[in-house]
Structure 1
Amino acid sequence: MARPRISDVAAAAGVSPTTVSHALNDTDARVAADTRARVKRIAREIGYTPSSLARGLRTRRTRTVGMISDVIATTPFAGQMLAGAQDAARENGHLLILTDTGDDRDVEREAISALVSQQVDAMIYATMWHRAVDVPSGLPSDTVFLDCRPADASHRSVVPDDRAGGASAARELVEAGHRRIAYLSSDDPRAIAADLRRDGFLEVLSGAGISHDPALILHGDGTTASGRRLATELLRLPDDQRPTAMFCFNDRMAGGAYRAAHDLGLSIPHDLSVVGFDDQQYHAAEQEPPLTTIALPHYEMGRWAMEVVLGVRDADPKTSHLMPCPVVRRDSVGPPPARSANLSRRRTIPNESAAPAAPEP
């Protein structure tokens, strides 16, 4: 069956094709309301769909939004950023076009040029993790930055409120009664989030009257293996110096802390409480016991960025919007253990080589 044409709608409605075009696109107030309603009803009944290309030429809008990302499309636990952006685009009659560059600057330049030449209505620039970025050349001035902030504060952006998230993690442990709390951080100099989470963490400790021991902040590369190594180092300290709780930069490092505790014969949360960060899909909730963590608001950030770039909501171009990071309470936090119980339960690992390497999830 041939696809219905605008002339078919015009014939059925008893009006000209021009009137049909104006009625369907709401472009001429002189078309009477009853005529407009009749044309739209007939178009629906016969299954007529206006050409998006022709409509774009008339309105100079393509109803598309381009998204440039580094590795988001290939990173499963960041997919919620795409879901949030896609949902908001769909609700506002737009299609999202995603280009994942693999963090390759040459590919990025080509992708930006291609999307601009396609005349997308707007663009979003997204990264896998919170950091400051130099604005790539060729990006339109109304581009919104997602999960990153432009180094020159020239564009609107949305990032997680990592400082408040670190404070929430510390508060969970302090309110459970812990006073010797370690922070397993990231050593990547680009990771703004690591320092922000630490600052929020230390602020809560200070407010609780806890003098924090700098020896309880260790840095790793964010992997499960580094979390295991750092946690083992801390848990092998003399009993009166060991932390009773650990806040980890991400859920993978928290998983490493779980393995270190298991190596030493310690039980979570009876002997060691652990809080992660990310609420990484298929990871945090699958730990034994399930991991209490701070969720990264991927979906909410993706939705916010799309709504801003489409003009559905306003945003300050000079200040990054901080998206709250909620606490996801599970079973890895409890009160601090009695020291004597710790001593009786703990096994000794003579050296690091005795602990098998931990495969990455």
Structure 2
Amino acid sequence: MPASRVTLADVARRAGVSRTTASFVMSDRTDMRISDEARQRVLAVAEELGYRPNLTARGLRTTVTRTIGLISDTIATTQFAGEVIHGALDTALAHDHLLFVVETSDDPAVEQRLIEGMLDRQVDALVYATMYTRVATPPPALDGRRVVLLNSLDETFDGPRVLPDELAGGRNAAAALVRAGHTDGIYSIGGRHLIPATPDGAWAGRLRMQGAEEVLAEAGLELSGTVECAWEAADGYAAVSGLLETGIRPRALICLTDRLTLGVYQALQQAGLRIPEDVSVVSFDDSALASWLRPGLTSVALPHYELGKAAVDLLLNGDQSRAVHRIDMPIRTRQSVAPPAADRS
């Protein structure tokens, strides 16, 4: 049979003080006249008995539970979710908060039950997140609550939103090629489409390409062409194979995801073209593929850890102003980018 929980009354009794005095000591109240000797005696007894405050009861009294909820569609089953949750967990813990993480599987009925469960447990605030950047509107049950949207494009939301800075990411990708000395023969693979069947799917691709084109224009350059395709390995393989079959030999490729780039590598290598000696390649996501591909792939990172951290930081600092907080997408430089070959025909 488990031992009964040590109560504040037990501490007060052993220390020879009133329960009120023990409560003031354990809550670190300094506005009451309590002798240092009594304070030290209470603290020593609390440690001896293994007393831990009942946070649930305290939450009922103060309406502060030091807990945060993270509710999402399918983020907990994606390969990047661990870093988002890790960033949120670390930040919550650093501020002495607990984080509850739940997943809705994009089912409105499940979402309603989970949100009700969070609110029943009196979480102080919530992060409402999605697996990829799209329009996601929190349900009415969260109206008036302290909420931060993570990865949502909902411009009607009257509060803070956290998004990856895809425009700056596109600029970083193109800048890597410009710094390497590429001036022509630059093609983009993947174009502006993430998931062509959904209207939100083009958001990341559109901003990535806009950023890349801005940097090229600033250098007096432009893309030599774009091959529109979906963002999987087979699509990248087909896109670059088709491009090469027309007789085009690109000097550099901007690929819209690492998955896509896996197929691009295969198509180039099958054609006898070397990376980066013949063709430089830069990509997005900085997934595990980027470091496993040979040569290592220079890729613009999606800042998953920083996204989770920023969302919880906003909740804890009380900033509920209506603003978009864009998180930088740094480039991870590896071996897939080099100056263009001088003797290229």
TM-score, scaled relative to structure 2: 0.90
Deviations 1:103-143 (A, max 9, x none): 22332222222212222110101111223323322124320
Structure 1: runs of 5+ lacking an equivalent: 342-361
1:277-356 to 2 correspondences below 5 Å: 277-280=284-287, 282-311=288-317, 314=319, 317-338=321-342, 340=344
C-alpha displacement of 1:42 = 3.0
What residue identity is the alignment partner of 2:277?
H
Q: Choose from 93, 113, 116 the match for 1:113.
A: 116
Identity across matched positions, percent:
41
Alignment partners' CA distance in 1, 2:61 and 2:246: 72
Shift in alpha-carbon separation, 1:139–1:235, aligned structure 2, 3 A: farther
Report the equivalent of 1:267.
Answer: 274
Report the equivalent of 1:354.
Answer: none
C-alpha displacement of 1:37 = 4.6
How many residue pairs get matched? 334
Shift in alpha-carbon separation, 1:169–1:33, aligned structure 2, 3 A: farther
Q: Choose from 40, 43, 46 the match for 1:43.
A: 46
Q: Choose from 14, 30, 43 the match for 2:32.
A: 30
Report the equivalent of 1:348.
Answer: none
Report the equivalent of 2:167.
Answer: 163
Structure 2: runs of 5+ lacking an equivalent: none
Alignment partners' CA distance in 2, 1:198 and 1:38: 66
Q: Single out whichever of 246-255 and 186-195 deviates more from structure 2.
A: 186-195
What residue identity is the alignment partner of 1:154?
D
Report the equivalent of 2:62.
Answer: 59
Query: C-alpha root-mean-square deviation of aligned residues, in Å?
Result: 2.1
Shift in alpha-carbon separation, 1:33–1:200, aligned structure 2, 3 A: farther
Alignment partners' CA distance in 1, 2:239 and 2:35: 71
Alignment partners' CA distance in 1, 2:285 and 2:104: 23
C-alpha displacement of 1:52 = 1.9
Q: Single out whichever of 156-165 and 41-50 deviates more from structure 2.
A: 41-50
User: Are the aligned partners of 1:131 and 1:193 in contact in 2 as well (CA < 8 Å)?
Assistant: no
Report the equivalent of 1:349.
Answer: none
What residue identity is the alignment partner of 2:13?
A
What residue identity is the alignment partner of 1:184?
I
Q: Choose from 146, 158, 164 the match for 1:154.
A: 158
Q: Single out whichever of 130-139 and 154-163 deviates more from structure 2.
A: 130-139
Deviations 1:23-55 (A, max 9, x none): 212457224262445423431233111112212
1:200-239 to 2 correspondences below 5 Å: 200-213=211-224, 216-239=225-248
1:168 alignment partner, SS class: helix
User: Are the aligned partners of 2:128 and 2:138 in contact in 1 as well (CA < 8 Å)?
Assistant: no
Alignment partners' CA distance in 2, 1:9 and 1:18: 11
User: Are the aligned partners of 1:123 and 1:140 in contact in 2 as well (CA < 8 Å)?
Assistant: no
1:93 aligned to 2:108?
Answer: no
User: Are the aligned partners of 1:71 and 1:128 in contact in 2 as well (CA < 8 Å)?
Assistant: yes
Alignment partners' CA distance in 2, 1:116 and 1:55: 16
TM-score, scaled relative to structure 1: 0.86
Q: Single out whichever of 16-25 and 64-73 deviates more from structure 2.
A: 16-25
Report the equivalent of 2:16.
Answer: 14
Q: Which runs of 4+ in 1 moved over 6 A?
A: none
1:320 alignment partner, SS class: strand
C-alpha displacement of 1:291 = 0.8
